[in-house]
Amino acid sequence: MAYFIQQLINGLTLGAIYGLIAIGYTMVYGIIGMINFAHGEIYMIGAFVSVVTYLILSALGLGYVPLVLLVMLMTSMLFTSVYGWSIERVAYRPLRGAPKLAALISAIGMSIALQNYVQLTQGARVKALAPVISGGITLMESDGFTVHLSYLQMFICVLTVVLMVGFSFLIDKTSLGRQQRACEQDRTMASLVGVNVDRTISMTFVMGAALAAVAGMMVTLYYGVVDFYIGFVAGMKAFTAAVLGGIGSLPGAMLGGVLIGLIEAFWSAYFTIEYKDVAAFSILVLVLIFRPTGLLGKPEIEKV
């Protein structure tokens, strides 16, 4: 039982991170109907920027943890926003209206370019940092196994929930959110009522990128190491999460992320860790066979 609860905690933490990345995929898909294949790289850049920021801050002798975290968060969000915005401008906007395959290839090219750029500027070796948030609490003890909830896991889960609530509010209740939904539903009509469609699409890339930066920072703190290749793996997982939950659906992305995180955690714990990715992707295939639109995806409704 204790072992089970421990895996639940680990899985939820991992799932929160995947979920935050998955939101970027799902929002961009919602608004332009295409997968942003460079999104995993945005997350990787977010992770790198937060490590570099951390190293700079420690070199400056700044040690107050909440401030360090805040500065790391702000810097990586700022940088990824600029990258997200640029990806849309460079890889997507010039190809709007072109066949989807063209934009797809251009995004994959962008993704390879960013990977290599980070590899060249940051080096191919992993970057490591000392634990910033350490310690935790012991929840329970049974059968000689202790369930441990680290402060870092709490931090990750709480921050994710806060971001999700804030983000849902933004999409449901603010003018910007309505403009995004309008562009998703009917881009031409949106422009007739005065929505600046180009700017709204840019904003969507920026918002997805900012959330990916948060995920990048969380991973940095959680694993303590980053390398230029993490974007690919996490990107695939988060993309899977988005499809599993129903691409285009925000709650779906979060749910998909949590499910993938849990599958991974439990599979590694009870079966063989080598096959954890196979397990996650197999579940995806099964879900898609029985529910092609994903768990919370809406079936394609007719255009009114």
Partner 1 sequence: MLKIEGVHTFYGKIEALKGVDVNINAGEIVTLIGANGAGKSTLLMTVFGKPQARSGRVLFEGQDITRVPAHEIVRLGIAQSPEGRRIFARMTVYENLQMGCLPTDGSHFEDDVRMVFDLFPRLEERRNQRGGTLSGGEQQMLAIGRALMSRPRLLLLDEPSLGLAPLVVRQIFEIIKKINEAGVTVFLVEQNAFHALKLAHRGYVMVNGNITLSGTGRELLDNPEIRAAYLEGGH
**Using CB under 8 A as the criterion, which residues of the chain lie in contact with partner 1 when the complex forms?**
175, 178-179, 181-182, 185-186, 188-197, 301, 303-304
Distance of closest approach, residue 289 Cβ to partner 1, in angstroms: 27
Distance of closest approach, residue 300 Cβ to partner 1, in angstroms: 12
Query: For residue 27, what are the CA distances in angstroms to 157, 167, 226?
Result: 21, 11, 26
User: Is 258 in contact with 15 (CB distance < 8 Å)?
Assistant: yes
Of 168 and 191, nearer to partner 1 (C-beta) is 191
Distance of closest approach, residue 193 Cβ to partner 1, in angstroms: 5
Residue type for 168, please? S
Tokens 């702000």 belong to residue = 74
Distance of closest approach, residue 188 Cβ to partner 1, in angstroms: 6
Distance of closest approach, residue 248 Cβ to partner 1, in angstroms: 11
* Calpha distance 247→183 (Å, rounded): 16
Distance of closest approach, residue 187 Cβ to partner 1, in angstroms: 10
Residue 138 parent element (H or E): strand 136-142
Of 28 and 114, nearer to partner 1 (C-beta) is 28
Of 93 and 181, nearer to partner 1 (C-beta) is 181
Of 182 and 296, nearer to partner 1 (C-beta) is 182
Residue type for 194, please? G
* Calpha distance 82→213 (Å, rounded): 11
Of 106 and 249, nearer to partner 1 (C-beta) is 249
Of 100 and 199, nearer to partner 1 (C-beta) is 199
Please list the residues that pair with 148 across neighbouring strands.
Answer: 138
Distance of closest approach, residue 176 Cβ to partner 1, in angstroms: 11
Q: ∠ CA(226), CA(157), CA(56), 5° rounding?
A: 40
User: Is 50 in contact with 73 (CB distance < 8 Å)?
Assistant: yes
| Residue ranges of E strands in 20-131 | 127-128
Question: In the chain, how long is the greatest CA-to-CA distance?
Answer: 66
Of 178 and 291, nearer to partner 1 (C-beta) is 178
> Exposed, middle or buried by CB within 10 Å (0-12, 13-18, 19+), for 274?
exposed
Q: Which among 267, 205, 232, 180 is positioned nearest to 81, based on CA atoms?
A: 205
